[in-house]
Amino acid sequence: MSKFLGPCYGQLAKNWIPMLGIWGTMGTMGLVWATEWRLILDWVAYINGKFTKDD
């Protein structure tokens, strides 16, 4: 990566990777909060069995 962009941008990218991970996690959590949470959490294996549908 540093060959393509240069050493300065390579170091900047390394510094931003943890922050982008945090923002991505918070964005995903916000998406789950703002949408139908059961629809998304049905894809999580551990949580899927805890919520049975009340038909």
pLDDT tens per residue across span 3-25: 676 778 878 888 889 999 999 99
How many folded domains does the chain comprise?
1
54 in a structural domain: no
Tokens of 22: 């945090």
Show Cβ contacts of residue 40 under 8 Å, excluding neighbours closer than 6 positions: 31, 32
- How many residues in the chain? 55
Express each pLDDT in 42-52 by its tens digit.
777 665 566 66
Residue 53: inside a domain = no
pTM: 0.53
Instruction: Let me know: does 40 contact 32? Beta carbons within 8 Å.
Output: yes
Contact 3, 16 (CB under 8 A): no
Residue 42 in any domain: the answer is yes
DSSP H helices, the chain, are: 2-5, 7-34, 37-41, 45-48
